[in-house]
Amino acid sequence: MELRDEDGALVATVADDAHGTRRLGIQRRVAAFDGTTKIISSPGGPTAIRADIPAGLRDGLT
């Protein structure tokens, strides 16, 4: 897993040697924070998921 700040967003990249079967759950969780995901996969190869989550607080939260 890699975490970094990129242009005001928290960027997490997770790679595993499976076939990305949990990606829908990850996409839903990231979307709950107004984030986006990108799935990077090659046939027979590892799967990586990149999640970009805005670093600021959502309106109305303290």
* Tokens matching residue 26: 């990850």
Strands 36-41 and 2-6, bridge-based pairing: unpaired
Q: What residues have CB less than 8 Å from 44, skipping those under 6 apart? A: none
Overall domain count for the chain: 1
This prediction's pTM: 0.62
On whether residue 61 sits in a domain, the answer given is: no
Q: What is the pLDDT along the chain (62 residues), one digit of tens a residue?
A: 788 888 888 888 877 655 555 677 788 888 998 999 888 877 877 778 888 988 865 554 44
- How many Cα atoms sit within 13 Å of 32 on the Cβ side? 6
Determine the Cα–Cα distance for residues 54 and 26; give it in Å rounded to an integer.
Answer: 16
Which structural domain, as residue segments, surrounds residue 39?
2-54
On whether residue 30 sits in a domain, the answer given is: yes
Determine the Cα–Cα distance for residues 34 and 49; give it in Å rounded to an integer.
Answer: 16
On whether residue 62 sits in a domain, the answer given is: no
| Per-residue pLDDT, 60 | 46
